[in-house]
Structure 1
Amino acid sequence: MHARDDWPPVVDLIERVVGEDDLLPSVVATVRTMVQEIAALPSADIAGHTRALLAAATRALAARRGPTEAELSFVEELAVTRARQGVSIESVLAAVHVAERAIWSRARELAAGAGVAPERLLDARELYDDWAEAVRGRLITAHRATGADREPPSGGRDAALLRRLFAGGSAAALAAAEAGLPAAGGLWVLVARPEDAAAAPERAPRDPGAPALSALVDGLLVAVHARRPPARAARAVRAGAAAGVAGPGDPEGLAFVRRLAVAALAAAEAAGRSGVVHIAEVAALAAVVDRADLAAVLLDRHEAALTGLGANAGPVALAVRAWLEADRDVPAAAERLFVHPNTVRNRIQRFSAVTGIDPAGTFGAVDAWWLCRAWLARS
């Protein structure tokens, strides 16, 4: 190194480059163009982390030192953040490299005009490379410590992508991009019981005109389609079984869409429906089925009625439920239960007498169906 008074112009040059108004937007745009996994991240996210790294590097060059523990702690946080977003360590390093190349390319352009000799700029680059090597090492170590780089088990790629989709935020956007799914709107979620699947998840029917993912996730067969599943998607479940579907939604909100699809499945099963059932077809029923807390309140309120019915509680609940599900058609309910129509009428009257609920009314019918379902679930 030359005398220390040769160094301030180098620091001024680097600070000038880093402080240029158009540098950061240019770096962000280049990173998003060249690194596919990074492209789905918000520009503000990329810009914020890039700005922090550049500031840390400038401080290190000014002091002619390596990275401090405080700077390396920030690097670790960046690595963990990217890992949770589903960004591979290779993509993280590629993004850093793009930013480095932009900085030093601009510095070489301005060096002569700033009075910085080529050898002095080379000294600065060597010092920076030492700093950057320590930073890269910490990035790799921290990223790998999250386990994000472990390969999913055989056949688990779709499952891994689905979990990232349901994580929400930028992780979901990145997963959608990797799967070739649209980044805005148009995503549909279909769920079914594994035992009801007509085929293994990897052979589940897909729409050849649009990308789709399907796998077992949290005990359910889950499929994400790039457009509403066609009618033939009913072949994804065995005859007589149900599947719930919801959508459309953006990747960032797909966890909510999945919850609606699960609610649709539960409601379809509660109503004895089969095939693919959209949440909009069973919205009111889904709202009821999803509230176990209110079902418990209803059970508690009518505990005395259940006790008073004794051994007749099951037959009475079955009759009321069958009658309501048959749209209050007594003969149809009787045929379903293999009893005389008068038996159905008598059991409905008995239910109304002991509970005080009028199942003939609109809201009384909801409470009656809900209570009878809860009684039968307890038996």
Structure 2
Amino acid sequence: MRQEGWDSVVDLIERVVGEDDLLPSVVTGVRTTVREVAGLAPADIAGHTRALLAAATRALAAGRGPTEAELSFVAELGDTRARQGVPIEAVLGAIHVSERAIWSRAREAAAEAGIEARLLLDVRELYDDWAEAVRARLIRAHRAADTGRREADDRNLTILRRLLEGGSAAALAAAEAGLPVTGGLWVLVARPGDAGLEQALRDRPQGLTGHLDGLLVGVLPQAPGTRAGVAAGLAGPAEPEELGAARRLALCALTAAESTGRTGVVHVADVAVLAAVADRADLSAVLTERHRPAWAALGSHAEPVALAVRAWLEAGREVAAAAERLFVHPNTVRNRVQRFAEVTGIDPYDTFGALNAWWLCRAWLVAAEGVEGAG
């Protein structure tokens, strides 16, 4: 299939592939366009993309299809993405985004170099044949690995449920999973959606992770390190028999962290008071009922006052910090705190008064959001 001018096109493609800004641009495009791979490390995407580009360029230069060595690498890629939980459609989509960016740049470079479009098209046809064989091997490898992963996940999910039931069944489940039955285990709870956090949990040498009741739950032999990004609740260490209670505490920690805008891994002991508050809907109802007249008296200013008091308390009673957070003048914060104290009779400068004030304002704002959502 090689013809006169073929080498000049291959040289051009090699120059395009070697441009310093190409790979970062491709990786950015892939992570932006294909949501399912956005949580993967850029270095992961870049490494596999670079290897595929190098293999394709060698094949074009030799005028051949993929070798078994190249297909073995592709099979490893399919297996890796399956284990990472990336659907095959997303893997193929990422490759398509990369191809489109590379060939678009190759067409521009060919036009500038005066290379005939027909010759570039012939090279592209050979590439398409190479890519088709690569995609076929990728799909087979991904499906085989995905089947194995799903079977393993089903087994792990069953064990995870038994662990979180607590009691003697949990001790047996821990032994079956290879988790230590003494020394304590840790339970982490987060909202699903952070692919990076989920992958970090799955990549740990020990531990079980799965989706239960709409949450991402992990049982781990060691406490995870601090992680920036989304909030995650953590409880432990606990014996296997106590993991059911630990899961409830981790969920309380997550709820408490979310209520104050905290992110990262948050241990329940670090938000014990907030966790207790979030877990007592009955006392929250009593508190709001007791101060219902105060909410009515504030009228249209109720929400701004609640926001100011809450921000002021969460800022350690620093007026300037609360004002900056709310984009208002510091005197506005002072006035709203004073107004709150007048209508409720709660002294927010007192230690226990501050707790009641924060709890009441949080309850007011949650109720207000519920009314707005219903409307």
TM-score range, shorter chain: 0.5 to 0.7
Of 214, 221, 238, the residue aligned with 2:216 is: 221
Counterpart code for 1:320:
V
Contact 2:201 2:218 in 1 (8 A): no
Per the alignment, residue 178 of structure 1 pairs with 176
Following superposition, the deviation at residue 206 of structure 1 comes to: 4.9
Whether 1:373 and 2:362 are equivalent positions in the alignment is yes
Distance 2:334 2:225 in 1: 42
Contact 2:225 2:265 in 1 (8 A): no
Distance 1:175 1:154 in 2: 15
Matches within 5 A, 1:92-111: none
Counterpart code for 2:206:
P
Matches within 5 A, 1:154-165: 155-165=153-163
Of 308, 328, 334, the residue aligned with 2:317 is: 328
Q: Secondary structure at 1:194's aligned position in 2?
A: coil
Distance 1:367 1:200 in 2: 34
Counterpart code for 2:237:
P
Distance 1:207 1:330 in 2: 44
Counterpart code for 2:318:
D
Distance 1:156 1:168 in 2: 19
Q: Secondary structure at 1:205's aligned position in 2?
A: helix
Give structure 1 stretches of 5+ with no counterpart.
1-151
Q: Structure 2 length normalisation: TM-score?
A: 0.56
Distance 1:259 1:185 in 2: 20
Distance 2:157 2:166 in 1: 15
Following superposition, the deviation at residue 159 of structure 1 comes to: 1.7
Q: Secondary structure at 1:211's aligned position in 2?
A: coil
Indicate the larger mover: 324-333 or 156-165.
Answer: 156-165
Following superposition, the deviation at residue 355 of structure 1 comes to: 0.4
Of 301, 304, 307, the residue aligned with 1:312 is: 301
Following superposition, the deviation at residue 334 of structure 1 comes to: 0.4
Q: Structure 1 length normalisation: TM-score?
A: 0.55
Distance 2:239 2:162 in 1: 13
Following superposition, the deviation at residue 179 of structure 1 comes to: 0.6
Per the alignment, residue 188 of structure 2 pairs with 190
Whether 1:205 and 2:194 are equivalent positions in the alignment is no
Q: Secondary structure at 2:294's aligned position in 1?
A: helix
Matches within 5 A, 1:166-315: 166-195=164-193, 197-199=194-196, 201=198, 203-206=199-202, 208=204, 210-231=205-226, 234=227, 239=229, 241-315=230-304
Instruction: Rate the CA distance shift 1:200–1:331 in 2: closer, same or farther, 3 A.
Output: closer
Distance 1:308 1:363 in 2: 23
Distance 1:378 1:347 in 2: 19
Distance 1:378 1:245 in 2: 27
Which one has a bigger Cα radius of gyration? 1
Distance 1:155 1:204 in 2: 16
Per the alignment, residue 350 of structure 2 pairs with 361
Contact 1:242 1:277 in 2 (8 A): yes
CA distances 1:23-58 after superposition (whole Å, capped 9, x unpaired): xxxxxxxxxxxxxxxxxxxxxxxxxxxxxxxxxxxx
Per the alignment, residue 70 of structure 1 pairs with none
Q: Secondary structure at 1:277's aligned position in 2?
A: strand
Per the alignment, residue 333 of structure 2 pairs with 344
Distance 2:167 2:278 in 1: 29
Q: Secondary structure at 2:153's aligned position in 1?
A: coil
What is the total number of aligned residue pairs between the two structures? 219
Q: Secondary structure at 1:261's aligned position in 2?
A: helix
Contact 2:184 2:240 in 1 (8 A): no
Matches within 5 A, 1:8-19: none
Following superposition, the deviation at residue 338 of structure 1 comes to: 0.4
CA distances 1:156-181 after superposition (whole Å, capped 9, x unpaired): 22221111001122211111111100
Percent identity (aligned): 63
Contact 1:268 1:282 in 2 (8 A): yes
Give structure 2 stretches of 5+ with no counterpart.
1-149, 369-375
Distance 1:344 1:317 in 2: 10
Following superposition, the deviation at residue 270 of structure 1 comes to: 1.2
Distance 1:216 1:317 in 2: 36
Aligned CA-pair RMSD? 1.7
Counterpart code for 2:223:
R
CA distances 1:208-244 after superposition (whole Å, capped 9, x unpaired): 4x5111000111100111111233xx26xxx2x2001
Contact 1:204 1:214 in 2 (8 A): no
Distance 2:270 2:249 in 1: 12
Q: Secondary structure at 1:156's aligned position in 2?
A: helix
